[in-house]
Amino acid sequence: MKVSSTEVQNNFGKYLVLAAKEDIIITRNGMEIAILSAIRDAVSDGGPVPGAVMEKAEEYGYGIRKASYEEFLELTRDSEERYEYIDGEIYLLSSPKTVHQTALTELFGIFYNWFQGKECIPLVAPYDITLKRNPENINIVQPDIMVICDLAEKLDENDYYKGVPAIVVEILSQSTRSKDLIKKLDLYMSCGVGEYWVVNPINREVAVYLFEDKNIIKNITYRKSEIAHSFIFKGLSAELDRIFK
């Protein structure tokens, strides 16, 4: 697919999703200048897994191996490690760095205070969220922050939440951009999440995506000293200067 640089700049989230499926050739004044493509290499049992995504282990996590949902549950049942399971791939989540945790603490504080006395409740990782693209494609993720509006109705007999959050927040690490900006964006959009916040401490940016009918309806990227705003919760906002101290 070929698109202009202006089109990519104006609809970056859309083309990140499309890049997971095919290479995007970016043009300027009719000339090809860049390619936007997914990372497709990973490690499993010491060797490469075709079509999988690799993240640097020291930064956040990495694709370990492909597995069925049942195999994932068995492999992680008695483990004290944190894992995510996305489209048949297992990811080990390693300890985040200070800049990640500082942004997480500040943003969760803003969310926690704003939702006091309201129907919805913000929760913070580690907390498993189960999302189904279809009955056969079951995924388990641990977003950094999630806003849940049906907690009491969607708890199972083991006290695990089985619904879909209204808002999901992911805070990027240097090596997780491909997973959070492509695989997770597509997963959240496809499974009924209403709004997705991507917090980038590296560039001091916050991108907010509004999803509807499995599409990106609106998206805004806030920079520098701007204030990020929620689309679906009017009045919910976060000063970037506070998030990125």
Per-residue confidence of the chain (245 residues) as pLDDT tens digits?
Answer: 888 888 776 666 566 656 766 788 888 888 888 888 765 433 333 333 333 333 443 333 445 568 899 999 988 888 888 899 999 999 888 788 999 999 999 999 999 999 999 999 999 999 999 999 999 999 999 999 999 999 999 999 999 999 999 999 999 987 666 677 888 999 999 999 999 999 999 899 999 999 999 999 999 999 999 999 999 999 999 999 999 98
Tokens of 78: 């008695």
DSSP state of 175: T
> How much is the pTM?
0.75
Look at residue 157 and give its three-state secondary structure: coil
CATH superfamily of 98-243: tt1808, chain A (3.90.1570.10)
User: Chain-centre distance of CA 83, in angstroms?
Assistant: 14
